[in-house]
Structure 1
Amino acid sequence: MTDRRFTLLDAATVAVTAAIAALSLWVLTQAPNVPYPMHFNAAGEVDRWGDRRELALLFGFMAVMAAITAGMMGWYAGASDDPARRRGLRAGQAVSLVAIGGVSAIIGWASLGASLGAEPPAIGWTMVLTGLILVMVGAGLGRVGPNPLIGVRTPWAFKSRLAWDRSNRLAGRLFFWLGLVLILAGPFAPQPAGALVTTAAIILAAVWSVFESWRVWRSDPDRQPF
């Protein structure tokens, strides 16, 4: 039996998407026509500037991503007649909202805030914000069911439900604990070493999770062949 009710997550999807889209429109039409930081190096220094159109386009892209990922996950969750699959898709909807909304907030603080007179965030505090996003994403990632948009989406994970579950649970645990470390250590970590180690740790967690999906698929007697 399908469940087409408009849930709190659906309302959050509409709110987050609309907020990012409205910010994109405001930047394009109302924001001061000044240079905006578009990229920072490992030391936290601006190494590329852009105009307000480029920043508006970036926010517009984030809004589209929120609508596609969270919106589609919510739609298919409501259309599913399997309660377990519905829960997995709702978890993916929540994870995508946290990730896209959190990244958009960091972009707004770093690029828009700096050009409007606010102090740009120190790298350490950016690490703390990244840690908060990773903790929330990690807490939900292990509950995400198979889908083409969110999670450890490897060919092996799609051929083995066991590989999907274990690789996503591993990724969730790794991101969660990494996020806690960033929250606690971010303000005190020496820079740019802290930012470089953070980037390397995120890449390592992703690679480890991909390897786990292959390892579990290979040993799963119920796996589907290629």
Structure 2
Amino acid sequence: MKKHIFPLSIIIINLLVWVFAYPHMSDQVPIHWSSSGEVDRYASKMEAMLTAMGLIIVVYALMAVTPKIDPRKKNYRLFSKTYDILVNAMMVIFSLINLLMVLSGLGYDLPTRSIAPVLVGALLIVIGNYLPRVRPNFFMGIKNPWTLSSDEIWKKTHRFGAKVFTVAGIFIIADGLFAIGPSVILPIILITVFAPYVYSYMLFRKENGMNR
């Protein structure tokens, strides 16, 4: 039960922030920003609140139930602390994004072009730091037919993925701080997603003698 205290506290704090800020917010609240930091979508403050709070609650609910329904749920005991840290990290990031939305709705002009990449990059670095500790399962980590076919491929892929995620996080933070260019983030994300998949496939071919 103790592991639920922090994420539930995050949810309650975010709800209180909305309750106190709601009467003072403009009728239309920014809920999405372009890669250049410009607002490209508005919503009513009720829709914004329900969307932001709904996302945080759904993320927590999914993370709470996942270890109970995963066919490999026994493996969660091997990385339970890591799992909790990653869940809490995601909750914190979503909470900060929620706060960004609230402050924008209150009329504050925030440097979203810098803040959003820094938050995303920080999350990638945290994930990269703990990725090698994740044990084989069907919900968290780099999951594909090759990593799930072999514990060794899973282990090597996650060690490789940890480096990719960390480097990607550093580049994205640098883009947020120094505005390298809006075209930089998408290629970095694509490389971060697909590089571990390609690497795991290469390991699978090697392990099964398919490179001959």
The TM-score normalised by the length of structure 1 is 0.75
Q: Identify the residue that residue 49 of structure 1 maps to in structure 2.
A: 42
1:10 to 4, 8, 13: 4
Structure 1 residues 103 and 55, CA, compared in 2 at 3 Å: closer, same or farther?
same
CA shift in 2, pair 1:24/1:217, >3 Å: farther
**Residue 88 (structure 1) aligned with residue 79 (structure 2):** yes
For the pair 1:127 / 2:117, whether they are aligned, the reply is yes
Amino acid at match of 2:84: Q
Query: 2:136·2:154 contact (CA, 8 Å) conserved in 1?
Result: yes
Deviation at 1:139, TM superposition (A): 0.7
TM-score by length of 2: 0.80
Identity of aligned residues (%): 22
* Counterpart secondary structure, 1:42: coil
> How many aligned residue pairs are there?
206
Report the 3-state secondary structure (helix = DSSP H, G, I; strand = E; otherwise coil) of the residue aligned with 1:128: helix
| Aligned counterparts of 2:144 and 2:23: Cα–Cα separation in 1 | 42
- Structure 1 unaligned runs (5+)? 1-5, 222-226
Quote the Cα distance in structure 1 between the aligned partners of 2:23 and 2:140. 34
- SS of residue in 1 equivalent to 2:36: coil
Unaligned regions of 5+ residues in structure 2, if any?
A: none
2:155 aligned with 1:165, yes or no?
A: yes
The one of 95, 98, 118 equivalent to 2:89 is 98
Of stretches 27-36 and 45-54 in structure 1, the one that deviates more from structure 2 is: 27-36
Q: 1:153 to 1:27 in 2, by over 3 A?
A: farther
User: What code does the residue aligned with 1:176 have?
Assistant: T
Counterpart for residue 64 of structure 1: 58
Alpha-carbon distance, 1:39 to partner: 1.8
Q: Is the 2:32–2:42 Cα contact (8 Å) retained in structure 1? A: yes
Q: CA distance change for structure 1 residues 25 and 103 in 2, over 3 Å: closer, same or farther? A: closer
> How far, CA to CA, are the matches of 2:118 and 2:18 in structure 1?
29
Assess, with a 3 A threshold, how the Cα gap between structure 1 residues 30 and 146 changes in structure 2: closer, same or farther.
farther
The corresponding residue for 1:36 is 29
> SS at the partner of 1:181?
helix
Compared CA separation, residues 40 and 139, structure 1 to 2 (3 A)? same
What per-residue deviation string (whole Å, max 9, x for no partner) do you get for residues 12-57 of structure 1? 233334444x259738975636101122122211111111232223
Q: CA separation of 1:167/1:187 partners in 2, compared to 1, >3 Å: closer, same or farther?
A: same
| Root mean square deviation of aligned Cα | 3.0
Aligned to 1:212: 199
- The residue aligned with 1:179 is 169
8 Å contact kept, 1:98–1:136: yes
2:183 maps to which of 184, 190, 196:
196
Match of 2:129 in 1: 139
Distance in 2 (CA, whole Å) between partners of 1:64 and 1:160 is 31
Match of 1:3 in 2: none
Q: Which amino acid aligns with 1:14?
A: L
Given residue 51 of structure 2, which amino acid in structure 1 is its aligned partner? L
